[in-house]
Chain A
């Protein structure tokens, strides 16, 4: 019975990782769509929304079923608790990817502002943070998430500078207001994704060590 339980627990983790990579990819592709004005990429992201919800529901179901049938304890219990929180954060991250492309549809006819300020760099860091959380979760080790707080500080600083630069650009040229407003929103979404990645890392830290931490 116990063997079967651990097999099922591993399956649940596999599913969560798949969901995690889907969320991460949605975010990544959304920013690529924004950068290249690529509506095909945008459509791909929009179409993944349902997959995300399906994962969210089915993993929650798996987790509840495992709790009901096996009354897990210690690290097994912490894994399930962590998973239940993770899928919420991952859903949010994926939905921010969708929000980015929803905004893109509205501004795709407008002349782009070259460079997108710090948005590509923010995306790189945020996706690396999500990946670190997933790696830590997959390997039961906290080393991948050790520097996550520092990386989040970097994301916050980039959000602030993007905000400032967008304000400056809009002040200089009112025609840029719609697109820069959109960039501010995108930067804000990415900053929120960074926060979700940190919350995820906190939960994984608890899962691995049994000790609760707060990432400032």
Chain B
């Protein structure tokens, strides 16, 4: 696979929740416009790691980070870094769809409004474009002002992706985005990820190894807070170099 410039670089990243170390010495590069998957057993630190990328862990008082995390060469943990800007550049989609109890339109317009866009025409444009890009427009265009909570689970998840796209991030973090969805809704999200990577960089955490194999270009396998192996997805699943990785992907774990 042709090498692309990295958009996220971590160097010797360590993270503690109080006394407990959750990430140990993680050094990795995430390439731009690629899908990078993080896999590993529960508690291995994969969700913690992607939460580092938009400083979601700041919300936890006892959390302490050492080492560096660069996005486009800028250290997002430096004292001068602005968290609001970081979270605008690095969007996130969670395991369970979490639309706001507002209309479909207001969900998508929420971010742009916060960032100061008030003109209706401009908001209309952003909402339509975001819903298009999240492959939801055709299903909701006639009921934009209906409550978002009336959508199906799969539609709600795509709405959350549209909401994330509306602020024009560079990176989209997805934490188990399909684990609450049925196979058809899952396939729609997976197709969407494939399209999103043309314009965005996607980092996805998933328990579903087949999903990681299907959607990602690169895969990192984590275990006990360490990044055990990182490489092209085909290599990780066809011919892993580390025995731990091989045991995990073949289900011989433990």
Contact = CB atoms under 8 A, between A and B. Distances in A.
A71 to B, nearest CB: 5
B144 interface: no
Interface stretch (B50-58, B119-127, B235-243): B235-243
B252 A71 contact: no
B78 interface: no
Range, interface on chain B: 10 to 19
Contact of A78 (B210, B238, B251, B252): B238
A74 B248 CA distance: 10
A76 B238 contact: no
B250 interface: yes
Contacts of B238: 73-74, 77-78, 210
Contacts of A77: 237-238
Interface in A164-211: 210-211
B213 interface: yes
B228 interface: no
In this complex, the member of A5, A75, A76 whose beta carbon has the largest number of chain B beta carbons within 10 angstroms is A75
Nearest to B212: A73
A211 B250 CA distance: 18
A2 B239 contact: no
Nearest to B252: A2
A73 B250 contact: yes
Interface in B192-213: 209-210, 213
9 contacts: A71-B210, A73-B213, A73-B249, A74-B238, A74-B246, A74-B249, A75-B250, A78-B239, A211-B239
Interface of A: 1-2, 5-6, 71-78, 210-211
A-B interface, 6 closest residue pairs, ranked by CB to CB distance from nearest: A210-B239, A2-B251, A73-B249, A74-B249, A73-B237, A71-B210
Interface of B: 209-210, 213, 237-240, 245-246, 249-252
